[in-house]
Amino acid sequence: MQNLAGKIFKYRSYTPIPFIIVMLAFQRANIWSLIIGFVIACFGEFMRLWGVSWAGSETRTTGDVGGTYLVISGPFGHLRNPLYFGNILLYLGIGVMSYSLFPYLQIVAFLFFAFQYYNIVKAEEGYLIKAFGENYEKYSKNVPRFIPRISSYKDEKLAQPAFNLRAGFRSEKRTLQAFSFVTVTLILIWIIGKI
C-alpha cells in the first residue's frame, strides 16, 4: 500500500486531466452553473493559495513525502490538509460550472479523489509522525484532517515559516493557469452555444 501511495503522490497533479476532458466533452453549462461553480472553485483556490503561502513550495514536490516544518499556521490551524480540501472544492466547482453528466460525474470524481487523498494523507502522516513525533500527535488530536474547525489551533513553541503571499502566487502559477484555462473554455463554449 505504501508503494501505491507513493505512486499516487508522484502523479497527483495529472489525475484531474481525464475528468477535465470528460467535463469539457459533455458540458451543459448554464449561467447559474457557471456562477455557482465559479464561486465554489474560487473558494477552493483561496484555500490552496492561503495554504501554500504558509507552507511554501515544498507542497509542489513530486518526489518523496517530506517537509521542513510542522506547519500549523494559517489554514493548517483549522484543518490538517487545506490544500487537498481546496483541491476538492476546486474540482467540485469546475464540475458544477460544466454541469457535465450532473451529478454522476461529480460523485465519481469525489469518490476517486477521496481515495487518492486518503492514500496520500496516510503516507504524509507516517512521515510527520516520524519527523515531528509528539508535536504532530498533539496537533492531529486537536485539528481534523478535512473538516475545518472554527477556532485556530495554536502552539507557540513550534517554529513556523513566514507567510509569503508572493511565493504562494509563484507556487500556484500552474494551478491558476489551469483553472483560468478551464473557466474561459467553459464560458466560451457556453457563449458559442447561445449564438
CA distance 49 to 82: 10
List, for residues 26-56, the tens digit of each pLDDT value.
Answer: 999 999 999 999 999 999 999 999 999 999 8
Cβ–Cβ under 8 Å, residues 81 and 145: yes
The pLDDT, as a whole number, for residue 62 is: 47
Which position has the higher pLDDT, 151 or 68?
Answer: 151
List, for residues 89-148, the tens digit of each pLDDT value.
Answer: 999 999 999 999 999 999 999 999 989 998 899 888 998 999 999 999 999 999 999 999
CA distance 162 to 192: 46
Q: Which of 153, 84, 92 is nearest to 125 (CA)?
A: 84
Identify the CATH number of the domain defined by range 2-194: 1.20.120
The pLDDT, as a whole number, for residue 20 is: 92
Does residue 64 surpass a pLDDT of 60? Answer: no
pTM over 0.85: yes
Does residue 58 surpass a pLDDT of 70? Answer: no
